Structure formats: structure tokens, C-alpha cells
């Protein structure tokens, strides 16, 4: 799965900021290929309003 950070984490709760960091994203526009596992899906669901996800 390819994930891209589309919105800023400024002003977001700390758990959301930490989740974005754990996914390996640092700034708006950063993309990453991640494995489709239940743990990663849960992390994506936590911050899905900040991300763009491509299967």
C-alpha cells in the first residue's frame, strides 16, 4: 500500500503525531510503501483524515 501525508500534523493530538511518525512520514507530500498488515491498517485508520491511501 502507498500512503501519502496530505495534511499537516500541527495542532493535532500527540498520539496522531506519533502515529504519523511511526508510519515513516515527516512532511506534507511524503510517501511510503507499507505492508498491508492489521497493525498498519489500524495506524492508518487512526490518522486517515491526514493521509491519502492507494491500494
Q: What is the pLDDT of residue 47?
A: 97
Beta-bridge partners for 31: 4
**pLDDT for 4-23, tens place per residue?**
999 999 999 999 999 999 99
Residue 55's CB is within 10 A of a number of other CB atoms, namely 5
Q: What is the pLDDT of residue 53?
A: 97
Q: What is the pLDDT of residue 27?
A: 96
Our CA angle for 37, 54, 45, nearest 5°, is: 50
2: pLDDT strictly greater than 90: yes
Q: Considering its fold, how many domains does the chain have in total?
A: 1
Domain that holds residue 6: 2-54
Query: Average pLDDT for residues 11-37, to the nearest whole number?
Result: 97
Q: What is the pLDDT of residue 3?
A: 97
Q: What is the pLDDT of residue 55?
A: 84
Q: Kindly report the CATH number assigned to the domain that includes residue 44.
A: 3.30.1390.20
Amino acid at each position: 500500500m502507498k500512503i501519502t501525508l496530505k495534511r499537516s500534523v500541527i495542532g493535532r493530538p500527540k498520539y496522531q503525531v506519533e502515529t504519523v511518525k511511526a508510519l515513516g512520514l515527516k512532511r506534507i507530500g511524503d510517501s511510503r510503501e507499507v505492508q498491508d498488515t492489521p497493525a498498519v491498517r489500524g495506524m492508518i485508520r487512526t490518522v486517515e483524515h491526514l493521509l491519502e491511501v492507494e491500494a
